[in-house]
């Protein structure tokens, strides 16, 4: 299926741990994003990559480090997890350019205990 | 600064028409998007406006007035499956979207 996929779908971990979330798209897009959706359902941009280059880095703690090994993949590594990191993290992708909509992955629900 | 406002909740009945408003004040503007998000699922694209006026796609229409910083999403012939959150988002410079907090629409029979 053509889509944006993320793994894992659910992630439960303890404070202080390091974890990664993986994202892959097979839509041929050249721009990928990470969004965070908090408990109040507010969806907020974290990072954006275009052709493996970081183009947007919002005010996100440097415990969060995105990595794009190629145009089809954008992974998110989180160090020293905190309770406030609990949220749903969505990966998205689009063609470059202002006219194109973004396609979202199914989300990864991260719970930090 | 940037601010995108939409009502938190709305209710409607099957077969009715509902209009979800969105007002925005952003430091840049390169288009306004509407997304639908069912509980526990990913947002899915509904419509996009970059010029003033009405865009129609089946039961869904979206309107934009850039001078007023205003958009609305119009849903006609409501169905139970339309119960979802509707997210208004503005594209500033670059390609990332700035989202409003969403409007939860409940459709009853």
DSSP secondary structure, A6-58, as one string? EE-SEEEE-TT--EEEEEEE-S--SEEEEEEE-TT--EEEEEEEETTEEEEE-
Instruction: Give mean pLDDT, residues A20-33.
Output: 95
Determine whether the interchain pair B97/A48 forms a contact, defined as Cβ–Cβ distance below 8 Å: no
Per-residue pLDDT, A35:
95
| pLDDT given at position A2 | 65
Structure tokens at A89: 């993290």
For residue range B48-65, list pLDDT tens digits in order.
Answer: 999 999 999 999 999 999
Expressed in angstroms, the distance from the first to the final Cα of chain A is 34
B42 and A41 in contact by Cβ < 8 A? no
CB B4 within 8 A of CB B35: no
Pick the closest to residue A45 from A29, A31, A57 (CA basis).
A57
Residue B27 confidence (pLDDT) above 90: no
Partner residue opposite A96 with nearest CB, options B33, B87, B95: B95
CA dihedral B62, B65, B71, B72 (to 10 degrees): -50
Residue A58 has what pLDDT?
Answer: 78
Q: Which of A21-30, A40-49, B14-23 has the lowest mean pLDDT?
A: A40-49
Q: Are strands A108-112 and A10-13 parallel, antiparallel or unpaired?
A: parallel
Most B CBs within 10 Å, among A40, A41, A50, to test the B interface: A41
Instruction: Tell me how far CA of residue A10 lies from CA of A6, A44, A86, in angstroms.
Output: 10, 19, 11
Q: Is A107 left (phi over 0), alpha (psi -120 to 50) or beta?
A: left
Q: Which residues pair with B9 in a beta bridge?
A: B104
Tell me how far apart the alpha carbons of residues A89 and A9 are, in angstroms, rounded to a whole number: 10
- Say if residues A90 and A34 touch (Cβ distance below 8 Å): yes
A1 burial (CB, 10 Å; 0-12 / 13-18 / 19+) is: exposed
Q: Do B91 and A98 touch (CB under 8 A)?
A: yes
Residue A96 phi, psi dihedral angles, 5° rounding: -70, 145
Quick one: CA dihedral A77, A78, A84, A86, positive or negative? Answer: positive
Mean pLDDT of chain B: 94
* Chain B stretch 1-40, residues whose beta carbon is closer than 8 A to a beta carbon of chain A: 30-31, 33, 37
Neighbours of B46 (CB within 10 A): 19
How far A35 CA sits from the closest chain B CA (Å)? Answer: 10
Which tokens in the block code for residue B18?
């509902």
pLDDT on residue B2: 77
Q: Is the per-residue pLDDT at A9 higher than 70?
A: yes
Is residue B1 very low, low, confident or very high in pLDDT (cuts 50, 70, 90)? Answer: low
pLDDT digits (tens, 9 = 90+) for A27-46: 999 999 999 999 888 899 99
> pLDDT tens, A55-106?
877 778 999 999 999 999 999 999 999 999 999 999 999 988 767 889 999 9
Residues 6+ positions from B10 with CB-CB distance below 8 Å = B18, B20, B103, B104, B105, B106
Q: Which of B95, B106, B87, B73 is nearest to A40 (CA)?
A: B87
Q: What per-residue confidence (pLDDT) applies to B88?
A: 97
Nearest CA in chain B to A94: B95
Q: What value does the mean pLDDT take over residues A46-59?
A: 83
């Amino acid at each position: 299926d053509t889509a944006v996929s993320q793994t894992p779908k659910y992630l439960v971990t303890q404070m202080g741990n390091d974890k990664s979330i993986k994202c892959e798209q097979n839509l041929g897009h050249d721009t990928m994003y990470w969004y965070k959706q908090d408990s109040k359902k507010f969806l907020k941009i974290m990072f954006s990559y275009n052709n493996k280059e970081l183009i947007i880095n919002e005010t996100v703690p440097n415990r969060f480090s995105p990595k794009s090994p190629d145009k089809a993949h954008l992974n998110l590594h989180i160090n020293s997890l905190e309770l406030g990191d609990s949220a749903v993290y969505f990966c998205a992708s689009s063609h470059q350019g202002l006219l194109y909509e973004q396609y979202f992955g199914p989300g990864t629900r991260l719970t930090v205990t | 600064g940037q601010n995108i406002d939409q009502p938190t909740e709305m209710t409607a009945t099957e077969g009715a028409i509902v209009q979800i408003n969105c007002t925005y004040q952003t430091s840049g503007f390169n288009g306004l998007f509407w997304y639908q998000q069912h509980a526990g699922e990913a947002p899915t694209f509904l419509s996009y406006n970059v010029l003033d006026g009405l865009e129609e796609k089946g039961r869904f229409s979206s309107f934009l007035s850039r001078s007023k910083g205003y958009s609305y999403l119009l849903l006609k012939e409501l169905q139970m499956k339309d119960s979802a959150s509707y997210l208004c988002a503005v594209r500033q410079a670059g390609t990332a979207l700035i989202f409003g907090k969403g409007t939860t629409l409940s459709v009853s029979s």
